[in-house]
Amino acid sequence: MANTSQSLRRAALLVSAVAVLGLTTACGDGSGTVSSPQTQSGTAAPAGGDPSADGSGTPVTSSSGSDTGADSNSSGSSTSSSSSTGSNTSAASSSRCHTSELTATVGGNDPGAGQENFPIVLTNASGRTCTVRGYPGAAFVNASGTQLGPDPVRETGSTATTVTLKPGQSAWAGLTFSNPEISGAKTATPTTLVVTPPDEKDPLKVKWTAGAVPVSGNSSSVRLTVFSAGTGA
């Protein structure tokens, strides 16, 4: 009887050990995350390397991820645009009319509404096609070369355009001031109008024959407009 009881006890212990071993094995393999994780469908990180994901393991595609892609494309476009702009700037610089290639004249007065209006005309005297764009520089001076009055001001609201001048062609910009007899401004009579073409440093000198100009006081400002094609006549 004693031998039989010991045999039964050993058998029971063996069965328990086998059961415990089986349970341990099931816990290790059944979840698929302890010993050998598996990649589930839809759990890859979003484009752009953003690892953020919601609790279910589904990647969260944030607006910043999309913006990053857009910014990259935009940046590429901007770089291309900048390069193009640089190229255009270089081309414009090489095609610009230089002072030595131009002659300057002042057209006849076209008065109206108390204003005196003169066209400053630049003519391409060179043998090549060139361009002007923007405002001229201008100043009235006396016989000794002293400037009379303040610098002219640029007319607001003018839109600059590039004017292409073939040899012999002209562009004009407006020079305008209030009639001193109406405005009451103090006047002086210049001998010369000094004109500087756009983006140039060397000026051209034009004999001024139109009489007194305002130099101080009320409504003494002289205004300039941007260049347009033609002579302003």
User: For 58-72, how does the pLDDT look when each residue is reduced to its tens digit (9 = 90+)?
Assistant: 332 222 233 333 333
CB 172 within 8 A of CB 119: yes
Phi, psi of 58 (to 5 degrees): -80, 130
Task: Report the pLDDT value the prediction gives residue 56, as an integer from 0 to 100.
Answer: 32
Please compute, for residue 6, the number of CA atoms within 13 A of its CA located in the half-sphere on the CB side. 3
Contact present, 232 and 119 (Cβ < 8 Å): yes
Which residue ranges form the domains of the chain, and what is each CATH number?
Answer: 99-229 (2.60.40)
Per-residue pLDDT tens for 129-146?
Answer: 999 999 999 999 999 999
User: Would you say residue 196 has pLDDT above 50?
Assistant: yes
Percentage of the chain lying above the pLDDT 70 cut: 60
The DSSP symbol for 174 reads E
- CA 78 to CA 73: how far, in whole Å? 9
Lowest-confidence segment of 27-36, 39-48, 97-106, 211-220 by average pLDDT: 39-48
Contact 193, 211 (CB under 8 A): no
* Mean pLDDT calculated for residue range 105-118: 94
Residue 92's pLDDT is: 58
Whole-angstrom distance, CA of residue 150 vs CA of residue 128: 35
Q: Is the pLDDT of residue 233 over 70?
A: yes
Residue 91 confidence (pLDDT) = 54
Of 76-80, 105-109, 181-185, where does the model show the most confidence?
Answer: 105-109
Is pLDDT larger for residue 91 or for residue 164?
Answer: 164
> The whole model's pTM is what?
0.61
Q: Please give the average per-residue pLDDT across 6-15, as a whole number.
A: 49
Q: Where is 192: in which H helix or E strand?
A: strand 192-196
Give the N- to C-terminal CA distance of the chain in Å, as an integer: 138
156, with CB counted inside 10 A (0-12, 13-18, 19+), is: exposed
| Residue 88 banded pLDDT, cuts 50, 70, 90 | low
pLDDT of residue 156: 84
In this prediction, residue 93 carries a pLDDT of 64
Rounded Cα distance, 19 and 44, in Å: 39
pLDDT of residue 17 exceeding 50, the answer is no
pLDDT at 30 over 50: no
Per-residue pLDDT of 31-52, as tens digits, reads 433 333 333 333 222 222 233 3
